[in-house]
Amino acid sequence: MIQNEKDFIAWIDGQLNENIPSQIVAFNINIYESPFNIEIVGSSEFDPDNEDWACNEDWIPENRSVSVSNSIFGNSWEEAQENILAMAKLYFQSSSKNTHKLKVVKAFAVGFVDGNLSYVL
């Protein structure tokens, strides 16, 4: 379970530690509500004018999703997305071992499934 930024960094570093095919050009962290879970998936397509690229699941890590504590969810879905986005930005700007895999793609986004995306990159 992700309860804080340290847990998030360990989780995403572990997910990105897997072999990621060279055709993956964008990543998205999907957020699910009830229960509150997240996952990261990779897409071989990216279109800045059409967020449907995030529906592609061309790369999925072996351990697909992880639960997230209610304290990170906060009082609303908007607060939850902002909290996950803030942690994703911290990870992206960190020197963790797998950030380079995100820095070479066209997009890195966060969003609720069936919702709008917020971009880290």
Per-residue pLDDT tens digits for 75-115: 889 999 999 999 999 999 999 999 999 999 999 999 999 89
* pLDDT for res 74: 87
* Mean pLDDT for the chain overall: 95
> Given a cut of 90, is residue 66 above it in pLDDT?
yes
Q: Give the number of domains in the chain.
A: 1
> Given a cut of 90, is residue 6 above it in pLDDT?
yes
DSSP 87-108: HHHHHHHS--TTTHHHHTSSEE
Phi, psi of 110, rounded to the nearest 5 degrees:
-135, 140
pTM: 0.94
* pLDDT for res 114: 85
Strands (E) across 44-88 are located at: 65-67
Range(s) of the domain holding residue 9: 5-119
Quickly state the pLDDT bin for 59 (edges 50, 70, 90). Answer: very high
